[in-house]
Amino acid sequence: MLQVAFIREHKEDIIKRLAKRNIDATQMVNDAITLDEERRALQTKLDNVKAESNTLSKEIGNLFKSGEAQKANLLKEKTTQLKETTKTLEQELNDKADALSQLLYLIPNVPNDMVPAGNTDEDNEETFREGDVPKLYEGALPHWELAKKYDIIDFELGNKITGAGFPVYKGKGAKLQRALITYFLDKNTEAGYTEIQVPHLVNEASGFGTGQLPDKEGQMYHVTADNLYLIPTAEVPATNIFRDTILNESDLPKSITGYTPCFRREAGSYGAHVRGLNRLHQFDKVEILRVEHPDNSYSALDGMVEHVKGILRELKLPYRILRLCGGDLGFTSALTYDFEVFSTAQDRWLEISSVSNFETFQANRLKLRFKNNEGKNELCHTLNGSSLALPRVLAGILENYQTKDGIKIPEVLVPYTGFDMIS
């Protein structure tokens, strides 16, 4: 959430930069400034009324002490009126503050200057590419056919148990899935991230804190009886660890990693491009998250990108990195890099990770601050990334490592799986 003071001081720049998202934010920005001015005017009026009431109360006390009860009672009538005025002003102030908060929740984060202009994912900017696309044997299969051939993932059984988008992993498929999770966590902890385990359901305040609410409410599974939400990513519970927190500057950075299942309704997703593991309602993901000093957050972002690159190099998967354009940028992000692995059997790129800097946007919603060396509170910067999302990594391994005799296991994973071939 943008700070009102920031909006007020950088009005034209904010409108210009939000235009990169293909949003004309003029009305929202002007309304926010107007609501804030009205809120501040009401606060001043309320403060004056309270001050007058306090002054009269002291005067009444002095009049009673001096035996001037008649004058005191006349002033008491005025204080009664002031109390009613105070009550009215407090209600108007609360209503104005709520209206301002609701509006601020709807204004997306301001894109960083590095974000390219553009409308759709076709306008994203490729910044890096690495790895050779393997030449597969004639008759190579997409991963959903390989899964059936080697009986390692059962999509029909998952459909029977729950519905489409909830696969059942079996045998070596389940072991490979578990191996990837452990491998990712090991790589992250070796890089200095502290491993955590977090709840898989969150409350409404947590959803608002990281920006999933109200932006992505329709894409989250909602447990209505308890007003809880199944997490769409570990980012939500992990970042909310720091909600309503004031850190010391010496505490920064905070670096954590965690594995969770993720749940997304993915409403409206149909067609061949979402077959198999390409898009699921439940999937596993290992996340990395950082809380940083504002001066260091972009060097931290570069470090996170390099960390994910190192994992993909070890897996020997062909991949590329995209800097997302304004039209494809997430609501809360100031700058995002997407990693995509090339699926040789499908002849297409599959997104496997997003690494983002949210600057102060989430921290403002979370009230996540640090006390600087001068003793003043400042908002932290938050960052997070997938390291990595498993379904499409698994799809990439199955398709790119397939041979006529079976599916080879990437060398770096063999110590985790205990086998080097699925056949």
Binding residues for ATP: 264-266, 351-354
Nearest-angstrom CA–CA distance, 83 and 81: 5
Helix (H) or strand (E) holding 247, with range, is strand 245-248
Structure tokens at 208: 């608002």
Sheet with 282-292, strands from edge to edge, namely 125-130, 319-323, 335-343, 348-357, 381-389, 282-292, 254-263, 194-196
Detail the residues annotated as belonging to a binding site.
Answer: 233, 264-266, 287, 351-354, 384
* Residue ranges of the binding site for L-serine: 233, 264, 287, 384
Round to whole Å and give the CA distance between 303 and 292. 12
Nearest Cα to Cα of residue 406 among 177, 172, 174: 172
Please give the Cα distance from 224 to 229 (Å, whole number). 8
266 in Cβ contact with 205 (< 8 Å)? no
Q: Specify whether the CB–CB gap between 165 and 279 falls below 8 A.
A: yes
Q: How far apart are CA 215 and CA 212, in angstroms?
A: 5
Q: Please identify which residue in the block is written with the tokens 């994912």.
A: 121
- Specify the 3-state DSSP secondary structure of 111: coil
Residue 73 contacts by C-beta under 8 Å, 6 or more apart in sequence?
Answer: none
